[in-house]
Chains A and B, each alone.
Chain A
Amino acid sequence: MARKTVLIALMIALTASLAAAGGGQKWLHVRVDEGGEDGERVFVNLPLDLVEAVLPHVSVENFDRGKVRVDIDEIEDVDLHAIWEAVREAEDGEYVTVEGADENVRIAKEGAHLVVRVDEEDEKVDIKIRVAVLDAMMAGEKDELDLLAALEVLGEQDDCELITVQDGEERVRIWIDSQKSGSE
């Protein structure tokens, strides 16, 4: 009887540990839906640790070892890191609001998130990124964005929506969760 109880306990412990190991894995999902019956639909599901393993070995133009080198010549007078430092320390609120005839742009800090909303006549863009992720991204050199560090922080966060773009019938969605199938 005691042996049977120990065996059952061991099985439960093993199942729980396997479930915990599987559940800890975060997945990056991308969905592109052109809309309509004949429209193309693309689904991409990638485990974050696969992306983290591969990124340091990708080297193309301005992207090397998981870092994007920002071409400073193009934004000579803009210090991204200084701007971010100021935003991070600031209270919640709207920082940029552009209201035009054709489009509205809103950049705001809402709690632990930086929110960007672009609203055009037939296109809507929503970006919501955690402050901690941006912190990691900006931690490197002045002209660098550390995507790898940002991914590592993203992997430690709860499930979250990153980018949603609605352009007419076309819809693009990028998010992170713990499901490998990324069902919507």
Chain B
Amino acid sequence: MTRSSRAFLIVFGLTALLLSVAVAAVAVSVHRCGILRVDVHDWEGDGQHIRLRMPGVVVPIAVQLVPDAAFGEVPGEVLEHIELMEVACDALARQPDFLMIEVHDAREHVTIAKQGDDLVIEVESPDEDVHIMLPLSLVKSMTARLARLPACKARSIDRCRDGAGAVFGHGSHAIVVES
């Protein structure tokens, strides 16, 4: 084997290895973050069927890149319950699969269930069927991002001063300040 073909093989081998590692890393991330699925089937009108499949890993990355100002005025009620949402996500993730809520009436059938690492919301009605699979890790990363908004931090500090605990989200971790 000539020296140049050996060099080519080494470069090719390294590139293939790097690509394999990158593909494996992406596969692991996609598996860990799950896939956001939205299916809407409109039974009325022209019977549209909307399907959305998005790797959950895309949303946290995109959300991290959005500047604080772009979130605009997040309603106070949402900011107040960030801590609760983070805790609920963690606690839900530890539970077995279960049907959390089911509402049944003459027109609609609504279910909210925990399936694997996802929250599954289904609405069936004569007008439309909606099926949403929301990875819990996605909800968690969204709440962690909202927790880093200045308005949310200020609110947490205020709560601390009032004698309650506060949580500042940091990705999948959180710093808990107990009064």
A residues apposed to B, CB below 8 Å: 22, 25, 37-47, 49-50, 53-54, 57-59, 64-65, 180-181
Contacts and interface: CB of A to CB of B under 8 A. Distances in A.
B104 A40 contact: yes
B99 A50 contact: no
B99 A181 contact: yes
* Contact count band on B: 20 to 34
A22, A39, A43, A181 — which one has the most chain B CB atoms within 10 A of its CB?
A43
Contacts of B105: 38-41
A39 B84 CA distance: 33
Contact of A53 (B83, B90, B96, B101): B90
B92 interface: yes
A52 to B, nearest CB: 9
B175 interface: no
**Nearest 5 A/B pairs, CB to CB:** A38-B106, A53-B91, A40-B105, A43-B102, A180-B98
Given A38-B105, A38-B106, A64-B164, A49 B91 contact: yes
Contacts of B106: 37-38
A47 B88 CA distance: 12
B143 to A, nearest CB: 12
A54 B87 contact: yes
B15 interface: no
B100 interface: yes
A65 B83 CA distance: 12
A46 B98 CA distance: 9
B95 interface: yes
Contacts, number: 60
Nearest to A32: B103
A44, A45, A50, A58 — which one has the most chain B CB atoms within 10 A of its CB?
A50
Given A43-B101, A50-B92, 14 more contacts: A38-B105, A39-B105, A40-B105, A41-B104, A41-B105, A43-B99, A43-B102, A43-B103, A45-B98, A49-B94, A53-B88, A54-B88, A180-B99, A181-B98
Contacts of A43: 99, 101-104
A54 B96 contact: no
A45 B100 contact: yes
Contact of A46 (B83, B100, B102): B100
11 contacts: A39-B105, A43-B103, A44-B100, A47-B95, A47-B98, A49-B91, A50-B88, A54-B87, A54-B88, A57-B87, A59-B159
Nearest to B109: A41
Contacts of B92: 50
B161 to A, nearest CB: 14
Contacts of A54: 84, 87-88, 91
Contacts of A38: 105-106
A43 to B, nearest CB: 4
A40 B102 CA distance: 10
B159 to A, nearest CB: 8
Given A22-B96, A65-B164, A180-B96, A40 B103 contact: yes
Given A38-B105, A38-B106, A54-B91, A45 B99 contact: yes
A154 B87 CA distance: 22
A58 B90 CA distance: 15
Nearest to A40: B105
Nearest to B167: A57
B164 A53 contact: no
